[in-house]
Chains A and B, each alone.
Chain A
Amino acid sequence: MKVAEPLLEVKNIETYYGLIAGIRGVSLEVRGGSIVTILGANGAGKTTVLKTISGAMTPEKGSVCYAGKDITGRDPDRITRLGIAHVPEGREVFPFLSTEENLKMGAFTRKNSTVNLELDRIFEYFPLLREQRKLPAGFLSGGQQQMLAIGRALMLRPQLMLLDEPSLGLSPKLVHATAEIIKSINQDQGVTVLLVEQNAQMALEIAHFGYILENGRVVLEDSTSRLSKATDVQEFYLGKKASSVRGKRRWKQRKTWR
């Protein structure tokens, strides 16, 4: 069988905040139908990678290809129209519009006829949102706003979804629910997902492939089954402590990729 072209191909992008490099040469590939995760500490450049893909930031160098097309530096709304839905960090909803209007805005790019069908589908995913459909989104709880942001992105019927820390600030139960939703979006709707997470455990569980970002560079990339077995990942991202013979932790434990 011929290996399919990757749906998204990021080649060697460098993006700056003024003079400060956010990312210095990141390359990654996302194959159609998969869930790919980017892990890394605060400030590693995960969000910047997503922003560069969705067009909110323009890279100084490198290119972003989507479905074989070069989309580097296009306006975010035009990139969205190609089928890339970005769910940004921190529940960016329209606070004074009702829940329903928020969702309908997600379908702004499509013709009106299918919108109501789509709306029902989203409400099946998130029954809580149906109850609050007339309420301004600003009054929803944090978890509900996150659901709304994901729902709004789904209204677009995306091929590729960029999720930026969907579990941020959610209760453990909601984190679990979010993980299930991401899995089902991927399996049932065939949406490819690029997931940025601090919750490495959750991300490694649901994703197929992972990249580890540090200081704006990819330091490790592998399938998630192998990543979660790697001792350094266990140590630094999953919080498992390696103990030495004497039962004490070595102070000089180093990451092997350095």
Chain B
Amino acid sequence: METFFQLLISGIAQGCVYGLVALGFVLIYKATEMVNFAQGDMMMLGAFFTITLINDLNWEYFPAIIAAILAMGVVGLFLERVLFRRMIGESPFAVLMVTIGLGYVLRSVAGMIWGHNPLSIETPYTDIRLHFGTVVLPAADVVVVAATVVLCALTYLFFRYTRFGVAMQATSQNQLAAYYAGIPVKRVVAASWALAAAIAAIAGILLIPLKSAYPEVGLVLGIKAFAAAIVGGFGSLPGAMIGGLVIGLVEIFTKYGIDGRVGFSVSDTSVYVLILVMLIVRPSGIFTSTQRKKV
């Protein structure tokens, strides 16, 4: 039973990271109908920013993560301005190639700067274990879950109650009408990229204590997060989080439940099997947000 809870929490923690990266996928997709395959690599970049600030520049933990999040926001703005604004109206395939290319560039540049050995940082909660009765949980897992809950609540409040948040929703639902209502659509799109990049940075920061950081960390994780976005129904923000949790849990329970018994690794494949099943059974995902237009 204790093992079950420990697996549950660490599956949820891993799922939160997938969910946050998936959130970035969905945010950008909703604002621009582009699928950004470099989302995982943006997460990796955010993690490396934090590591540099803490290990090399000797910053405190909290100022460092805030600076890293803001810096990634600026990177998001920059990428939108120089790269993706030009891609508006291009074929989806061209956009896809650009994002895949961007991923390669980010990974190799990160490799040149930070090398290919896994790096990690001392966080205020490293090596702390929390005891709940007989269940022992690493603080890192609990922090990931708590931070994700807070972040989701803030995101929800932002989209639901702020003028700019509602305008972002409006733009994703009907871009033409948004233009005609006087909403600065270009600024909204830029803000979506900044937000997606900042959330990717948060995912990266939360990931370091779980997995440590290396240039390729975002590649596989990005694909799994993409799976999470599909499971949740591409285009739904809560769906992306739920999808992330599903992927995280499926992965960890197949790892400890099945791998040991059959003698080879099923867990790595389980996620991809899940995408296939999902696409066959319910291609629109758990949460669908499509609606027919009335005539």
Interface residues of A (CB under 8 A from B): 54-56, 75-77, 80-81, 85-88, 91-97, 101-102, 104-106, 108-109, 112, 138, 140-142, 145, 149, 152-153, 156, 169
Contacts and interface: CB of A to CB of B under 8 A. Distances in A.
Contacts of A152: 177, 181
A145 B294 contact: yes
Interface of B: 163, 166-167, 169-170, 173-174, 176-186, 289, 291, 293-295
Nearest to B164: A108
Contact of B173 (A88, A91, A94, A145): A94
A138 B293 CA distance: 8
A92 B291 contact: no
Contacts, number: 87
A65 to B, nearest CB: 20
A124 to B, nearest CB: 21
7 contacts: A56-B176, A77-B182, A77-B186, A86-B180, A95-B293, A105-B166, A105-B178
- Going nearest first, the 6 A-B pairs with the smallest beta carbon separation are A80-B182, A92-B177, A76-B179, A109-B182, A94-B170, A94-B173
Given A77-B183, A95-B173, A102-B170, 12 more contacts: A56-B180, A76-B179, A76-B180, A81-B182, A88-B176, A92-B176, A94-B173, A96-B173, A97-B170, A101-B170, A140-B294, A141-B294
Contacts of A108: 163, 167, 181-183
B167 A142 contact: no
- With most chain B CB atoms within 10 A of its CB, the pick from A76, A112, A152 is A76
B181 A105 contact: yes
A101 B166 CA distance: 8
Given A105-B170, A108-B167, A92 B294 contact: no
Contacts of B167: 105, 108
A251 to B, nearest CB: 36
Given A75-B186, A96-B289, A145-B294, A80 B174 contact: no
Given A95-B173, A97-B166, A104-B166, A77 B295 contact: no
B179 A95 contact: no
A201 to B, nearest CB: 23
Nearest to A91: B294
Contact of A80 (B163, B179, B186, B291): B179
B72 to A, nearest CB: 27
- With most chain B CB atoms within 10 A of its CB, the pick from A77, A97, A101, A153 is A77
Contacts of B178: 77, 94, 105
Contacts of A56: 176, 179-180
State the main secondary structure of chain B at its contact with A.
helix
A195 B183 CA distance: 23
Nearest to B294: A142
A54 B178 CA distance: 13
Contact of A142 (B174, B181, B185, B295): B295
B294 A80 contact: no
A138 B174 CA distance: 12
Nearest to A109: B182
Contacts of A54: 180
Nearest to A81: B182
Contacts of A55: 179
Contacts of A156: 181-182
- With most chain B CB atoms within 10 A of its CB, the pick from A75, A92, A101 is A92
B143 to A, nearest CB: 33
A25 B170 CA distance: 35
Contacts of B294: 91, 138, 140-142, 145
Contacts of B293: 95
- With most chain A CB atoms within 10 A of its CB, the pick from B166, B169, B186 is B166
A75 B180 CA distance: 10
Contacts of A88: 176-177, 180
B169 A97 contact: yes
A43 B43 CA distance: 49
A196 to B, nearest CB: 14
B166 A77 contact: no
Contact of A97 (B173, B182, B184, B291): B173
